[in-house]
A and B are shown apart, each in its own frame.
Chain A
Amino acid sequence: MLTFTGAKQAFCDGLNRRNFLKIGAFGAGLTLADMLRLQAQASNTPGRTAPSRPKSAIMIYLPGGPTHMDTYDLKPDAPAEFRGEFTPIQTNVTGVQISPLFPLQARMFDKFAVIRSIVTVNEHSDSLVMTGKSSRDNMTANHPSFGSVVSRVRSGQAHSAPAFVSLRGMSRGTEPGFLGIQHRPFATNGPGIQNLRQLTTVDESRLNDRRAMLQSFDSLNREVDANAAGLDTFTTRAFDMVASGGVRNALDLNREEQQSRTRYRGVEQFLTARRLIEAGVGCVTMSYGGWDTHGQNFQAMRRQLPNLDKGLSLLVGDLHQRGLLNDTVVVVWGEFGRTPRINRNAGRDHWPAVMSALVAGGGLRVGQAVGSSTSRGERPQDRPLTAPQVLATLYRAIGIDPAMTFNNGTGRPIHIVDDRNPITELL
């Protein structure tokens, strides 16, 4: 039995955002035109086998905006009211220090890179970091999320797994915007996944019975509709998917070895993410924890960072061990940094002037810190970067040209990222 429901996180703006491992429903984003194209390709390429492994992305969102000052950008030399309670530790990359609550990452930091000079906007939303446009801009721009773009780009390719899976339900940052509803993420408990399971009331023999009858009834003259053959292929494939299980199995952690499940205890989402990538999903998005620490920041860090450390190190370590890390880019970030100066509730408030993000895999140049903030962690010291630039870098890492355009509702070609000068240090 799977339970994915996590804790509710209350944010300071009074809204609750459920932090749950919900996966839902869409996805089999393969369209008829794509199917026909694929068939044509297959018939033109004799002896063609399955396409090589596609590149994937894991977008880990830390809702609420984690403090950069206590995670990846500690300032041990700043005054006490800034530096907080933690003394950084050295990682296995010379000159890069991170939180003492991240010992596991510190030991393998040659597989990570931290970006310390990202400027964002003051919005409690995953909009900017997942779509490249602020929530405010998206009121009219309706810009698609990273995963939806992956889904759109992949819709012409022969993958059996859904292109985009959300382990955190729907939010502005998972929306397909003008790309259309078929590029919404699959959600794990939605009908899309349930439809892959054989119905209890229709056993195999009845399903076969039905299928035979369908074939006899389906007598539409093919000249009437040129797409008829493609639709038949869908039907065949759908029956196959029901029979084989596919992505549904990836979501079923009971299929994972006991030992492995033990290792991931408490951070099962990271295991699910890994299994989905192994099953061929193009983009998995998940969230972890609640980071809107206006009060009791340090307690919250002591509670959450070790688990985040465990999840990230296991995920990246496993991907590496399985030879998947080069083809899978991982990013970990929230919506903004937090005030360098500690407030009277031992908390830190919103600080869009600078934040950090962690990246790994995807063939990026890791084992380094890119950019830096000023001595008190107040703003970028050099190399101010934007969230869209990080997205552009991620797109490149998975082989998508950030200058690619898709038409919006008014027929205008819109670039998938506007500010698309990539972070060259990472490439």
Chain B
Amino acid sequence: MRKLLLGLALGLALAVPAAAQNEPAKKKASDAITLPTPAQIKQLTADPVEFKLVGEDDARQLVLTGVLDAGGLQDLTGNVQYEVGDAKVVRVTSAGRVMPLANGSTTITARYGDKSTTIKVAATSMDEVIPISFANHIVPIFTKLGCNSGGCHGKSGGQNGFALSLLGFVPELDYRALVKENRGRRILPSSPDNSLLLLKAAGIMAHAGGKRMELGSDEFKLIRRWIASGTPYSDGKDLEVKKITVHPEQRIISRNNRQQFSVHAHYSDGSIADVTQRAQYESNDPDISVVDATGLVRALDMSGEAAIMARYQGQVATFRATVPLGVKIPSYAFEEKTVVDRFTKKKWQELGIVPSNLSSDEVFVRRVYHDITGTLPTPKQVSAFLADKNPNKRDKLIDHLVETPEYSYYFANRWADVLRVRRGNQAVRAFGNFAFHNWIRESIANDKPYDQFAREILAAIGDESKAPPTVWFRDLRQPEQFVDDACQLFLGVRVACAQCHHHPYEKWSQDDYYGMAAFFGMIGRKAAPNLGLVIQNQNQARQIIFNKGTGNVINKRTGKPAIMRALDSDPVELSAGEDPRHRLVDWMVDAKNPFFARAVANRYWAHFFGKGLVDPVDDMRVTNPPSNPELLDALAQELIKSKFSLKHLVKVMVKSRTYQLSALPNEFNKADKKSFARYYPRRMTAEVLYDAVSQVTASPATFAGLPTDKYAPNRALMLPDEAFASYFLDVFGRPQRISACECERVSEANLAQVLHLLNSQEIQGKLTRAGGRAAQLAKDPRSDTDKVNELFVWAFGRRATQGQMDVALANIERNAKNRQLAYENIIWALINTKEFILVQ
């Protein structure tokens, strides 16, 4: 988000000179494409075909489209010639913006060669002084120019003593700051041009934020007129923007091509205004498409999809640009195995790209063991799979793997990360953590319906010995914490911003936020002693969670008790004694809920495909749409139809042909980053890597604080919480579980990790352990070739190449006196390769 803000700030800093700055880019983009000739166009269409402009500040953005003979659409807004019937009434810029000049009505004819279309326009109220609304006319200027951004006057406390509400979400405060504060020195109605506001913003007087607007620009004139008319707050109508819409909503545009779109604000009285010039824009993938301050989108050289966010007055909408590769592609066969394949294939066809080949059995078996169980297959498991002649052996293996204990441990680890199963430094929490972890693991092993899983956590009552999910209530205490975690975790939305101000990239307001918080306002806690233990402080007590039946949460904005209301829903009336958390869960798990099933489908997708359909996984919002919305909907439906069976969800994903594609790109999909036309390889996580190293070296883990008998957990993935000290796990990014965000687990490589695998006492100890793999193999009577091949299968799931075999055998030869040394070297080299640490 920082990048986004920065981008906004930069974009805005250049707001006025932006046009000039972007000029070369524009030229380059239009140079790079060949527009269709008029003969290639079947028809020229305009949006809108008829409209009215009211008052001198009104304006309208036209969008002109050529319907191609060959199929497809071409934006021609900036390429047609505009002719106005009566040039006294309106004028049209070459970019298709229409502005009124005098009352009257006329027509605009747009011509592209021999094709043309005619638009009717009327201008009225040009001779009236239309009252100005501070909230609807002035505040959006501050937003567009960046005055109220988080880096400037919009930050809490403001900038140099002048504070505006963030992005103008609270106009009353802005009005007070401008007109009343500092004895009104910022505004001078008697001499508007000498108002500090204009002097600073136009750069006439020194302004740390620089020049934000041109003297005499539309914005300048509007603010000036507002000051001159006595700084009214209201225009007598007090309209509210109910939503904004973009036109068109989506287009397929060729590489380096462009598309103008327009933005309309829909007000509470039903009126609609064109706000294309006043909205703010941001592309979610600037490698694919960029947008300027006028809503003109330019596709770049890469194919893919981008969502262009438009924001105006707390409302957001997106324009989707699909940019196909646009080269001739070979035909290919792609068998649809699950619902996944239908929609991935559709996407590849839209984008004009070709999926990679099916992965080999050797690659697949290592991948699927890793992704479902968090372990690498043993040589025995690999050869059994390779030898199996059953054509359905992949499905068979998948069905088997989701029934293994390893599957439940792996996913329990992932869920425990985000459910805050952590000890901190409180030893007393160990008991509850073990219980909660075990509860999660059993839920996964038994395929507890996911709606029930969520309910048992969110609405838990009792103490951790009987209701382990109450452990979740250890870290979370305030209603706000529950809102943040519950929304991020179970709904895949990050609403925390809306605690203190309107969400900058969503429609969520503080009222929406506290509506959710109210569901958590009746949670009661009491402390009971752990039997036989004297309580020394509150943390050592046994915690009992119950429903108080009363209680509310204060809405920070209104200072009054919040109205209990789920996102986008009606207020909830409770009956006496009812636990509101159950009402919240009822809403969540309803088949029509737009968040719940999608959120978990997306989370699991990210696990198996390396990246969420919405990325990051817990940041679903209008302005961050899924890369394949139909696919996400279909997965959510699969889940709902299966009564929330997560195992079913896993199978739908993993049995798909898409999942089983090779990681090796072809010339058509090598730039693909989010349509899953190949398997995106990824690094093993800390625990998985640790266990893999232990397995390859035959040197199982021991962790202080656990039993040491043969039933004790001997894999890092089995650990219930984060409190088991391990430099290895920490350096490879094991999370501390201090948030509900998967992002806490860092998967990026760093130098300290490389050093640890290359040159640590820990790894050396595992390599040289008595009875470890190297020691076993040194004594093993089989041929060295067999043994080296077996090591390669342990590490890579495949046998050594001839060259690799020669190098390994030469090393054994050199260490003939102490073959264990040679095997240590070979294992060391294997676990330090990229092929080992990557799953492909």
Contact = CB atoms under 8 A, between A and B. Distances in A.
B746 A182 contact: yes
Contact of A224 (B664, B741, B761): B664
Interface in A191-246: 191-192, 194-196, 198-199, 201-202, 206-207, 209-210, 212-214, 216-221, 223-225, 227-228, 230-231, 234-235, 237-239, 241-242
Interface in B644-698: 663-665, 670, 681
In this complex, the interface size class of chain B, counting residues with CB under 8 Å from chain A, is 35 or more
B840 A411 contact: no
Nearest to B825: A210
B637 interface: no
B768 to A, nearest CB: 7
Contact of B494 (A214, A223, A411): A411
Contacts of B665: 223-224
Nearest to B481: A140
Contact of B751 (A210, A237, A407): A237
Interface in B790-840: 801, 803-804, 807-808, 811, 814, 821, 825-826, 828-830, 832-835, 838, 840
B205 interface: no
A224 B488 contact: no
A99 to B, nearest CB: 36
**Residue picked from B488, B751, B825, most chain A C-beta under 10 Å:** B751
Interface string B731-762: 10111101111011010111110111011111
A133 B735 CA distance: 22
A196 B751 CA distance: 11
Contacts of B756: 191, 195
A25 interface: yes
A409 B740 contact: yes
A4 interface: no
A230 B683 CA distance: 14
Contacts of B833: 214, 217-220
A192 B828 contact: no
Interface string B483-495: 0100010000010
Given A28-B755, A181-B730, A410-B496, A220 B834 contact: yes
Given A224-B681, A225-B838, A405-B2, A192 B749 contact: no
A6 interface: no
B838 A213 contact: no
B616 interface: yes
Interface in A387-427: 403, 405-413, 415, 418
A29 interface: yes
A413 B758 contact: no
Contacts of A206: 821, 825
Nearest to A194: B761
B829 A411 contact: no
Contact of A231 (B5, B619, B830, B834): B834
Contacts of A177: 738
A13 to B, nearest CB: 11
Nearest to B679: A224
Contact of B748 (A33, A140, A221, A235): A33
B2 A195 contact: no
B733 A182 contact: yes
Contacts of A219: 801, 804, 833, 835
Contact of A31 (B151, B743, B750, B801): B750
Contacts of A230: 749
Contacts of B761: 191, 194, 199
Given A180-B746, A198-B759, A220-B834, A225 B681 contact: yes
A32 B682 CA distance: 14
A71 interface: no
A191 B760 contact: yes
A27 interface: yes
A106 interface: no
A227 B736 contact: no
B704 interface: no
A165 interface: no
A33 B750 CA distance: 9
Nearest to B801: A219
A26 interface: yes
Nearest to A177: B738
Contact of B496 (A29, A224, A238, A412): A412
Contacts of B734: 181
Contact of A407 (B2, B759, B825): B2
Contact of B826 (A26, A196, A213): A213
A196 B478 CA distance: 45
B55 interface: no
A216 B664 contact: no
Interface in A252-269: none
Contacts of A198: 759
B695 to A, nearest CB: 18
Given A182-B733, A213-B811, A195 B759 contact: yes
A238 B757 CA distance: 10
21 contacts: A25-B731, A31-B750, A32-B750, A142-B738, A180-B744, A182-B731, A182-B746, A191-B760, A195-B758, A209-B814, A209-B825, A214-B828, A221-B664, A224-B664, A230-B749, A235-B754, A239-B758, A403-B155, A411-B497, A412-B1, A412-B494
